[in-house]
Amino acid sequence: MPWSEKDLFEVELLEPMVDEPAAHRPRLPGQVTPFAGEALASWLLRYAEPFGIAPDDLLLRNCDIERTIHGDWSRRPHPALIERLAQATGTDPMMVAGLTLWSGDEAADDLRDRFSALRFRAASTMSRRQRRMAVCPHCLAEDATPYVRRDWTVGWTTVCPDHAAVLIGACPECGYRLRMPALSSRDDFAPDRCPRCAFRLGTASPREAHDAVISLHRRLLEARDSGAFMLPGQGAVSWPVALALFDVVLGAVWIDTRLVMRRRLFDRIEGDFGRGSLGNDPTGSYEGLMILAWILEGWPDRVRTAIAIVQGPRLRRQLERWHDLDDGIRQTLLGMLLAIWPDQKHPEDRAWWRAWIDNLPEAGEQLRARAAIDRFPHRRARLLALADVRDGMPIELAAEAAGVMPSTLYIWLKRGAAGGLDSALDRQRGALNQAQAVEIAQWIAEAPTNQPRWRSNRVKNEVLRRFGLEISLEVAARLLRKHGPWVRRRVSAPHRRTHADT
């Protein structure tokens, strides 16, 4: 930007006189306006760049400096600083405030990788460096003037909704952890370059973000701004309560759980979200968000499923882990979670099939191994569900996980208990035994072909009349299709109902 020495004299770097009227204060000749969604620090760095002076020195007075010492002034500036910056740059204070993170929860926003596994295993080693950020390479590649988005500086953000990309927090070339330059820096501001190796971040190819994560990410940003998160089936919960809830839920997955159990949970999530969606090492913030997205999608059933799968402790213990929780939030969480997840107690009279599954020679792992090599999908599904029950999962949860009604799983269990594992795995072929099936097949085959095709009801009634057995209409229809003397109907041909037909 061209500037003359005369301009320099318009820049006031000294203490003002106290009674100086605001309107007469000099303004900088800069014309740099913020881009959409830009972070305050990014804008200030771009603003100060042509002057060759650090933003601190250019825009702030000595009396302001004190306000910048404590905390995170560029993301949450003191109102007086906002005024000061607006005045020095000749912009609207509301616009300046829009570049900051004031509305959200401070502690929650500042922690980089908030939803990553690391936070739940070794909280003390988490980076609390407030200038850490993660960037979207596609956004940077598209920028005529590269800049840092405000949302990239929120600690828990992990995806770019515009490009469906997972943000990168470290240089793919040298591993440097990206951060916003200090506002005392006089270096060129180049957010599209790695500060260490000068790699062009816009050329990096980030992972594609899953739709479920993008959608949850959006809802989190909205909740952060509005202060309320919509929990499915539960209504609005306040943002701090929502964050505490996410901690408890993700903590249940990560804290003191065994790797094999977590793998089972991740397998299940990938079963719904697509193979490989979580990756080999789902410990990052992005994966944490995906785990949350899966659980919230099926709230509240899936939180119970998840904890049952990882064999986590009961709810009250889960909450006790979080010593620092505010008492009000703890009570709210307890009330909310106990409503969907009462303290479990063991039934006195255990079901009669319980002994069979509990004493099955195959343990859960072996049943799963069998499922892995079984040719038939229905047998695989049953083996997996039985494996869950064998491992102690409640029936309702195992059924939910298998995608069947609990009553169906009970039928499998009872059949297994009565006739062994294989009878639990195989589909029931109707109620007819071999001889009866042959008899009825013959009767169907001999039907006169010069009459309208028989209806399933006729077969069903005949079976009831001959053997006193009730078969379903589907079974009857299958028998007709298989043994009837009529020309086979094409599946795609529309079925005409005529009077003769009924």
- Strand 165-166 to strand 228-231: parallel, antiparallel, or no bridges (unpaired)? unpaired
CA distances from 134 to 92, 107, 159, 194, 414 (A): 28, 18, 9, 12, 54
Kindly indicate which of the ranges 187-195, 254-262, 332-340, 494-502 contains the residues binding Zn ion, using the contact rule CB under 5 A.
Answer: 187-195
Q: How far is the CB of 103 from Zn ion (least distance, A)?
A: 22
To the nearest whole angstrom, how small is the minimum distance from the Cβ of residue 205 to Zn ion?
13
Is residue 217 within the footprint of Zn ion (CB under 5 A)? no
Site string for Zn ion, 245-284 (x = CB under 5 A): ----------------------------------------
Nearer to Zn ion, 141 or 182 (CB): 141
Residue placing its CB nearer to Zn ion in the complex, 30 or 137:
137
Between 152 and 254, CB nearer to Zn ion: 152
Nearer to Zn ion, 167 or 444 (CB): 167
Kind plus residue range of the DSSP H or E element containing 334: helix 327-340
CB of 93 to Zn ion, least distance (A): 29
How far apart CA 392 and CA 182 sit, in angstroms, is 54
Stretch that binds Zn ion, among 56-64, 71-79, 193-201, 255-263 (CB under 5 A): 193-201
Give how far the C-alpha of residue 119 lies from the chain's centroid of Cα atoms, to the nearest Å.
17
Q: Determine the interface stretch with Zn ion among 61-69, 197-205, 217-225, 452-460 (rule: CB under 5 A).
A: 197-205
Residue-by-residue DSSP string for 108-128:
HHHSTTTTSHHHHH-GGGS--
CA angle 34, 39, 42 (to 5 degrees): 75
Out of 107, 197, 363, 372, the only residue in the binding site for Zn ion (CB under 5 A) is: 197
Judged by CB under 5 A, how many residues of this single chain contact Zn ion? Answer: 14
Min separation Cβ 197 and Zn ion, Å: 3
Decide whether 190 or 369 has the Cβ nearer to Zn ion: 190
Whichever of 173 and 301 has its CB closer to Zn ion, that residue is 173
The total of other beta-carbon atoms located within 10 Å of residue 24's CB is 7
Closer Cβ to Zn ion, 138 or 455, answer by number: 138
Between 194 and 315, whose beta carbon lies closer to Zn ion? 194
Q: How far is the CB of 206 from Zn ion (least distance, A)?
A: 9
Centre a 10 Å sphere on the Cβ of residue 20 and count the other Cβ atoms it contains. 10
Among 194, 214, 244, 292, binds Zn ion (CB under 5 A): 194
DSSP category for residue 246: H
Site for Zn ion in 117-176 (CB under 5 A): 136, 138-139, 160, 162-163, 171, 173-174, 176
| Residue closer to Zn ion (CB basis): 133 or 480 | 133
Q: Taking the complex as a whole, how short is the minimal distance between the CB of residue 277 and Zn ion, in angstroms?
A: 20
CA 317, 320, 321, 327 dihedral sign is: positive
Supply the minimum distance, in Å, between the C-beta of residue 285 and Zn ion. 17
Residue 134 CB, nearest approach to Zn ion (Å): 11
Cβ 207 to Zn ion shortest distance, Å? 13
C-alpha span between 430 and 440 (Å, rounded): 13
Minimum separation from the CB atom of position 150 to Zn ion (A): 13
Which of the stretches 114-122, 190-198, 265-273, 468-476 binds Zn ion when contact is defined by CB under 5 A? Answer: 190-198
Binding part of the chain for Zn ion, among 47-55, 186-194, 427-435, 459-467 by CB under 5 A, reads 186-194
The distance from CA 452 to its chain's CA centroid, rounded to whole angstroms, is 56
**Residue 101 or 168 with smaller CB distance to Zn ion:** 168
H or E element that contains 338 = helix 327-340
CB of 212 to Zn ion, least distance (A): 18
CB of 165 or CB of 424, closer to Zn ion = 165
For Zn ion, the closer of residues 146 and 300 by Cβ is 146
- Calculate Rg over the CA atoms of the chain: 33
Q: Choose between 117 and 194: whose C-beta lies nearer to Zn ion.
A: 194
For 475, counting Cβ atoms within 10 Å of its Cβ (0-12 exposed, 13-18 middle, 19+ buried), the class is: buried
Q: How far is the CB of 184 from Zn ion (least distance, A)?
A: 22
The answer to whether the beta carbons of residues 171 and 194 sit under 8 Å apart is yes
Instruction: Match 């009565």 to its residue by tokens.
Output: 418
Among 25, 128, 196, 317, binds Zn ion (CB under 5 A): 196
| 3-state helix, strand and coil shares in percent for the chain, rounded to the nearest 5 | 50, 5, 45
Q: Using CB atoms within 10 A of its CB, is residue 9 exposed (0-12), middle (13-18) or buried (19+)?
A: exposed
Query: Which residue among 3, 199, 322, 454 contacts Zn ion (CB under 5 A)?
Result: 199
Say if residues 183 and 189 touch (Cβ distance below 8 Å): no
For the bound state, the minimum distance from the C-beta of residue 213 to Zn ion, rounded and expressed in Å, comes to: 14
Contact of 57 with 80, CB cutoff 8 Å: no
DSSP 416-456: HHHH-HHHHHSPP--S--HHHHHHHHHHHHTS-TTSPPPPH
Q: How far apart, in whole angstroms, are the C-alpha atoms of residue 480 and residue 455?
A: 8
* Binding to Zn ion, residues 473-492 (CB under 5 A): none
Q: What 3-state class would DSSP assign to 208?
A: strand
Query: In the complex, which residues of this chain contact Zn ion (CB under 5 A)?
Result: 136, 138-139, 160, 162-163, 171, 173-174, 176, 194, 196-197, 199
